[in-house]
Amino acid sequence: MLTLEHSPVASSSDVLGGTLVFRGTRVPVQSLLDYLQDGFSLDQFIDYFPSVSREDAVEFLRLVRNEKG
């Protein structure tokens, strides 16, 4: 079960004006989606944004897939 304390993402008005970011970072989750859409791999994204854990990125993508049905 996903709870806010176990979520791979967070939002706070103090961080990038409330933009949805990966937990504990200032990296917007939209950046991952943009990178993948532009043909970059998940590994490349993690290389560019090492503050994002692979586990959080994978969990976020799983949640997005489930949401889209």
pLDDT digits (tens, 9 = 90+) for 14-42: 877 788 999 999 999 999 999 999 999 99
Q: Is 40 helix (H, G, I), strand (E, B) or coil?
A: coil
Cα 20 from Cα 55, distance rounded (Å): 17
The pTM of this model reads: 0.82
Q: Judge contact between 8 and 23, C-beta under 8 A.
A: yes
Rounded to 10°, the helix 54-68/29-37 angle is: 80
Q: Judge contact between 2 and 63, C-beta under 8 A.
A: yes
Going from N- to C-terminal start, the domains of the chain cover 24-69
* pLDDT tens column, 38-69: 999 999 999 999 999 999 999 999 988 887 66
